Structure 1
């Protein structure tokens, strides 16, 4: 019955699903098949080079990441959806250029996107199921072995660019992706069959830590997003001065991308900046006690790194800031914090300012 319905009116069904997705706040939906052979080869080469660093989960689960039918048996199509997240707030470059400010990646200034997008995907899946009366659906938001950008490229939502992010020619790259795996043989959308980066390499040139091995290839071990979020231990002293005031993530390669002039502001109120984190002083954040940190990051993706790494990252940024008595005093107060990781980075920061641990 499903095959007959889709054969006769599959296009109309996809159009209806797109309308429901728009009602739920998604900006775009594409349908792809599950052939990721080309991307699987790239992933295996990337992992073999060790570019994943401590993200060992990138190599876990065997081939389930690149073969959707192995992750969810019966899957033959993937719905990939885009939700814009760029909100009003302090101008990003102005924050980056002020060494007294703390730069936090724009995607994490509001509510944790995992929760919001996953809920909307589940609502969409339920609506499809209720409409058809059957079918299998499994929703994912950066929470399982899924090649999100590869599926999005195959679904025609954009191209994987030189900075390894997905770029949409009408919306830039300031958006989240989510997927619904299904056994419905829906008609697929034309894949993105060309990349539109041209000779531009602004993203490669701007990277503070030279994390790009070349176009389309990122060594995560040097990426500030990886270092401030995924990396759990001591950060290489050679990289610390290059991190500037970036304390959670890095948007440099997006900020300079010409295609982001087409980025659309989000309509989601939950993605609006909270607690002034789009324009906060380093010292203010460094002086938060753990209770304040927990309260101010509740429901935020900032929770991922924990309070210890929060202090580690801020200590580096303060070490890179212009010397002042206030900075030295704040660092000295943290010098005996009961964490070797924090102590190490505070000591480094004090040395940068020519100050001693009091």
Structure 2
């Protein structure tokens, strides 16, 4: 019984500190092999839903077993970090997914995770662990569901009753045994199909599955070649990423603006019009997207996307 109390004490300590650092929610699951997810991932890859994202085929076993990422792993701590903006872009604009308004979340959230890991090591002792923010072969939404944070919506994104879905997920994998949360059991999407109906490229399939090779985010970010002509006229002005499935989700009426100054956009970004984007120079691109995730698509990639949308 004393040991159990110690696990609870450590878990409470970690959750309290996570909240203080700025994470919205924190849950903990036992590090095990993801048995149910294995056949689903295999089929998803067989169906070619990853398109040209060939890296998704790598490290299959690692994606399913956190113990291959951290020796002796016992716990997966899942955390969410809100990015819902207070203000959105000008209506007369080519659109950017809200997650990319400010500085690159990989760096911002990773530094918070490292702060939490340092705290754990200082307070608890010799703990080996690694921090992940969409940066390694880990099925983050599965772990978040197992840690009780929320459920996977029909658009395959994690939804939380109190927050909606505009948040990043992050993980700490530790070789420390902790008190584990109950997996989230209830799917609160019910019979709603708003996200499926609203997706212009029909990328959202049955059984909470996404055909990544049809997603606007895939075409505007991941695809390095020319965008196929068969999707002309279907982007609804999205030039980097897409929020359509989240914007129509009824649960996102509960989204609250974030408190992270590093996620605030450069002031000119929100006011730029379509003609501003069409005439954007590389210097302006560098200024507006300094330290931004949009740099992934590069200036030439953004130009390609704008041209594709404009000529449809």
Alpha-carbon distance between aligned partners in 1 of 2:133 and 2:66, rounded to the nearest angstrom: 14
User: 1:30 maps to which residue?
Assistant: 27
Cα deviations across residues 269-296 of structure 1 (Å, max 9, x unaligned)? 1112224323421221221222321222
d(CA) in 2 for partners of 1:178, 1:297: 23
* CA distance in structure 2 between the partners assigned to 1:276 and 1:310 by the alignment: 17
Rounded Cα–Cα distance in structure 2 between residues aligned with 1:276 and 1:88? 15
2:278 paired with 1:286: yes
Residue aligning to 1:183: 175
- Give the corresponding residue for 1:101: 93
Aligned with 2:163 (options 143, 150, 171): 171
Give the unaligned 5+ runs of structure 1.
321-358
Report how far residue 317 of structure 1 moved: 2.3
Instruction: Tell me how far 1:40 sits from its aligned partner.
Output: 2.0
Q: Does 2:140 correspond to 1:143?
A: no
Which is greater in Rg?
Answer: 1
Distance 1:196 1:204 in 2: 15
Q: Is 1:20 equivalent to 2:12 in the alignment? A: no
User: Could you tell me how far apart the structure 2 residues matched to 1:208 and 1:187 are?
Assistant: 43
Query: Quick one: which of 71, 82, 85 aligns to 1:84?
Result: 82
Alignment of 1:183-332 (within 5 A): 183-320=175-312
Q: After superposition, what is the alpha-carbon deviation per residue over 1:164-197, rounded to whole angstroms, capped at 9, x for unaligned?
A: 1000111110000110000101011010112111
CA contact (8 A) 1:87 1:273 kept: no
Greater CA deviation, 286-295 or 50-59? Answer: 286-295
RMSD across aligned C-alpha pairs, in angstroms?
1.5
Cα drift, residue 151 of structure 1: 0.4
What is the rounded CA distance, in whole Å, between the counterparts of 2:245 and 2:271 in structure 1?
20
Aligned residue pairs, count: 311
* Aligned partners of 2:70 and 2:129 also within 8 Å: no
Matched, 1:7 2:1: no
Residue of structure 1 equivalent to 2:70: 72
| Secondary structure of the corresponding residue to residue 288 of structure 1 | coil
Deviations 1:199-227 (A, max 9, x none): 00000000011112324111111110111
Measure the CA separation in 1 of the matches of 2:293 and 2:53: 17
What is the DSSP-based 3-state SS (H/G/I as helix, E as strand, rest coil) of the residue aligned with 1:273? coil
Alignment equivalent of 1:53, drawn from 28, 51, 54: 51
- TM-score of the superposed pair, with normalisation by structure 2: 0.96
Matches of 1:245 and 1:319 in 2, distance apart? 11
**How far apart are the structure 2 equivalents of 1:137 and 1:71?**
9
SS of equivalent to 1:242: coil
TM-score between both structures, scaled by the size of structure 1: 0.84
Q: Secondary structure at the match of 1:276?
A: helix
Task: Identify the range of structure 1 (282-291 vs 196-205) with the bigger mean alpha-carbon deviation.
Answer: 282-291
Rounded Cα–Cα distance in structure 2 between residues aligned with 1:261 and 1:289: 36
